[in-house]
Every structure is written in structure tokens, then in C-alpha cells.
Amino acid sequence: MTDNPLDRLTLAERAALTSGESLWRTQAIERAGIPSITLSDGPHGVRRQPDDGDHLGVGHSTPATCFPPAVALGSSWDPDLARRVGEALGRESRAMDVQVLLGPGVNIKRSPLCGRNFEYFSEDPRLSGVLGAALVLGIQSQGVGAAVKHFAANNQETDRMRVSAEVDERTLREIYLPAFQHVVTVAKPWMVMTAYNRVNGVYASEHPWLLTEVLREEWGFRGVVVSDWGAVDDRVAALWAGLDLEMPTSGRASDASVVKAVEAGALDQELLDASAARVLALVARAQPGEGTFDAGAHHRLAREVAGQCAVLLKNDGVLPLGLQDSVAVVGELARTPRYQGAGSSHIVPTRLDDVLTEMRALAGRELEYAPGYRLGDAGRSPELEEEARAVGGGGGAPPPGGGGAPPAPGGGGAPTPQQQPDTPPPPRAP
């Protein structure tokens, strides 16, 4: 009787371990007593979807705390704050039976056109690495794995599934890789997620220099390398390069290609076994869901984080507002906030605060309000613009539908369903 669980598995079962069972779960091998584990989007809130959910983020998910995203957290320059957010994310993950949270993202902001800049900390590799490591340490302190992403040079969204980031090695090592290196060597994440794009002509998921030479041999990474969802172009080439887990499920089609490649001698079985063994080690260290989380306490933490992340670039004397003076609030987003970003990190919040309600609570009275415009394609409205110009000082009753009651004492809005703009933002994958 062997102690090595791999010895109990067939070649097909070993191949199956290195791909997903569904959108969010790894493969279970029931015959050998190997369970599946659940991965979930993050890291600004646990976006736990049912197993038949959609990875693009347009479906429903279990309510979770809406934390400020990395673009805000990076402005705090506070690793302790990032770690506390990570600890809360870990607790919520355990409560939702999530074993690995997909985040943080530590790619460098290089273009204002990058649609995922909100998910990344900074333009600075040092700041991104330190805050990313703190978040990982917090998540993993709760027995939940973190998956640092997107490795590497994922700095734009345009044509991201095919584009090649042409970067010389010095620039990679000075700008694009240091944040990943710091997180890997200091926080030891359970997972590293590869990017969609090519790097110097080679897909990141099939890049032996990135995944084996740099990540494993130079930095000593011992965890699982997972693909971004749908990022694998050639499963056999990915295994050769050092990718351990293709997500999501391919319907077993790519599993068959792996078995065929091993049997034909086109893929060394030792490489497959090494990847399967790393997945088994991940499953073994994963812990089942347990307990609940304090939604009120976590929402108060999110409010604290938002306050610590606010940056005042200039004050020409207007601030602080004298809310006992004549004050009017203008703008639909004051009562229907657009929060976080779009797509895979967008969650259903347990609670959602809005500017209008908070300002009325601070003033202790009604404030005049006008939406001024419509959300979505409707955009500008001459009638609403005229109404906004006509709004005077504070003290008057708001127009019909203009806001709600002040929140209960203790901070944080009342539990609420997700508020959606008229036209939801376009979806994005993990």
C-alpha cells in the first residue's frame, strides 16, 4: 500500500486533476477519495456564485461585503489596513465554503485605458507588492488560499486574448515582475494566476521562462499555477511550461488531449504527475466552509477603509462643508452609486451606502436634491438639468423619489439588494 495518492490514480484521472470540473470547482476523483474545492472571484468582495453560475459576472452571487477596490486601497499606503481587509475576506470565504479567493491583482497601471486598473494597486511595483503581500497574508491567515494575478504584463484590456506585450527582460524585472516576486517570496500565496495575453509572442499560460524558470526556480514558488478563465490555448504546451490547473472546465476535451500526448511520448508523464501532485497538495490543505461572518462589523471596516483611502488633492476653502448652511445635492450617482468595477469582481453587497443618505444623516435634516441626468444611454435630460439649476439652498423637501432615510446608528446603510444602473457595465472575465 503506497502513501502517494498519485499511485492510486489512472493516467486519465491524473489528467483530470489538472483541469476544472465546473466553472468554479476543481475535479473530484471520488473513487480515490479526492474531493473538489471551490474557487471564487475576489478580492474586493467574495463573489460566490452557484456551481451553475456564469464566470463573466452578469449573474447573481451570494451577498458579501463590498470593500473598496485596490485602486482605493493603494492610496492608503497602509499594509496593516490591507491585511485587515484580507482577514475579513478570508472569514467571508470560509463562511461561503470557498477554499481559494482569486486575488489580489498586482499588475502595474501603465495605461489609463486599461479597464481593470480599478483592480490593481498602483503604478509603483514596490507599493503594489507590499500591499498585495499584506492582503494575501490576511486572507491566508483564515485558512483560505489566495491567487495573485495576472502573471504577467497584463496591463491593457484591448484584444487581451491575443495581444502580445513586447517587453525586454530588464523592463520586466524592474517594473512588471517585482510586485509578483514580493508577494510570492514574502506571503507565499497558494496560487498564481496567469494572464490572457502573450508575453513576447508566447501566451502567459504557456510561457516556460515565466512559469518555470522565474516563478519556480528563481522565486521558489511551490503552489499551484492556475490559468485565467479560458486563457489556455494549448493544454499540452501549458503543462510543459509549468501550468498546473486549467480553469474552468473544458468538458474533458483537453483532458483527453493530455492523455493522448503522454501515450504518444509528446508530453513527459513526470511533468503531468508534478502538476497533479501540486493540485492534490492544494486540495489537502484546503479547509471546508465553517461559521458565519459579522456583516455589520465588516461593513464598518469597509467604511473605515474608504475613509483612509480618500485623497484630497486640493482644497480651495470649500471643505469641510457646513451642512447647516444652504446645501443642495445634485447628481443621480448621489443616490444610485456605481461602485467597484464591472464584471468578475462585481458583487452583490450586503449593504450599500450612498452620498445623499449620508449627507442628510450628517446634516440631521432633509437636503434639497436633483438628479440632474439619467444613467445609461439616456444621458442628458434638459428637464433634469433645468431642475438641478433651480435647486436652491438646504432645508427644502427633495423632489419625489429623491433619497431615503438616514441610516441607523452605528454606521453603514441598511441591507439592500444590489443597485444596478439603467445600463449595466459590460462583463469581464476573472
Annotated active-site positions, please?
228
Compute the distance between CA of residue 365 and CA of residue 373 in angstroms, rounded to an integer: 24
- Taking CA atoms, 94 is separated from 143, 148, 250, 305, in Å, by 8, 18, 27, 22
Number of helices and strands in the chain (H, E): 13, 10
Q: What DSSP character marks residue 386?
A: H
- HEC-encoded secondary structure of 24-89: CEECCEHHHCECCCEEEECCCCCECCCCCCCCCCCCCCCCECCCCCHHHHHHHCCHHHHHHHHHHH
Q: Which helix (H) or strand (E) holds 155?
A: none
CA angle 323–324–327, rounded 5-degree value: 55
Question: Please, which residues have CB within 8 angstroms of residue 39's CB and are 6 or more apart in sequence?
Answer: 24, 25, 26, 98, 99, 100, 101, 102, 147, 226, 247
Grid coordinates given for 121: 494597486
- Amino acid symbol at 53: G
Decide if 40 contacts 47 (C-beta within 8 A). Answer: yes
Residues 359-379 as b or e (16 or more Cβ within 10 Å = b): bbbebeeebbbbbbbeeeeee
Q: Count CB neighbours of 416 within 10 A.
A: 15
